[in-house]
Structure 1
Amino acid sequence: MGITITEAAAQRVQNFLTNRGKGIGIRLGVRTSGCSGMAYEMEFVDEIHDDDQVFEDRGVKVIIDEKSLVYLDGTEVDYAREGLNEGFKFNNPNASGECGCGESFTV
């Protein structure tokens, strides 16, 4: 299935990378945390590791390690503004539930 990214998220990532002055994409991952058990992680990537999977969508490279791919395969990364709040959202078909703030999920 892979990882996809919406046009809004792609534009935001490209703006961040341009302002940062370096980077080849973003890394998605998961860690044990939050009230639902797992939390999303996102960071800029300057180099790709041997065990990384690379997906490219809308001109943005999304890098993910094999362990996280099990939990994130099929996820769409979006960027939205709701009132005064704005940020990246993860539409994850593997999540069976998430906490009220959307910061953590369970599978």
Structure 2
Amino acid sequence: MSITLTPAALARVQRFLAESPDAIGLRFGAKKTGCSGWQHFADLATDERAGDSVYEDGGVKIYVDMLSLPQVDGTQIDVVKHRLGDQFMFRNPNANAECGCGESFTTSADLA
């Protein structure tokens, strides 16, 4: 599978990369936290780390660490208008449930 960016997310990430000369791409993954177990994160990548899976979409490299990959593989990253600004939105096929506030998620592996 892979990690993909919608046109809106691609444009946003390209703008961030243009403003950050030390960045080499997007670092994306999930960390154990929140009331449901996992929370997505996205930040600019400044290095490639051992064990990273590297995807490319629209010329943007996306770095995913090996511990996050089972939770986020297949995710589409989007940018949506929210109140007075924009925010990243993650369409993750591995997420089976979300907490009430929508900040964290669980996977089928968590339920086993």
In the superposition, the TM-score normalised over structure 1's length comes to 0.92
Structure 1 residue runs of 4 or more that deviate by more than 6 Å after TM superposition: none
Aligned mates of 1:48, 1:82 — CA distance in 2? 31
Q: How does 1:62-81 map to 2 (within 5 A)?
A: 62-81=62-81
Shifted more, 31-40 versus 80-89: the winner is 80-89
Structure 1 counterpart of 2:2: 2
Q: How does 1:15-94 map to 2 (within 5 A)?
A: 15-94=15-94
Residue segments in structure 1 that go unaligned for 5+ positions in a row: none
Q: How many residues align?
A: 107
Superposed CA deviations along residues 34-63 of structure 1, whole A, max 9, x for unmatched, are 121111121111111121000001121110
Structure 2 counterpart of 1:103: 103
- Give the alignment's Cα RMSD to 1 decimal: 1.2
Residue segments in structure 2 that go unaligned for 5+ positions in a row: 108-112
TM-aligned CA deviation for residue 22 of structure 1: 2.5
| Identity in percent | 46
Aligned mates of 2:71, 2:10 — CA distance in 1? 21
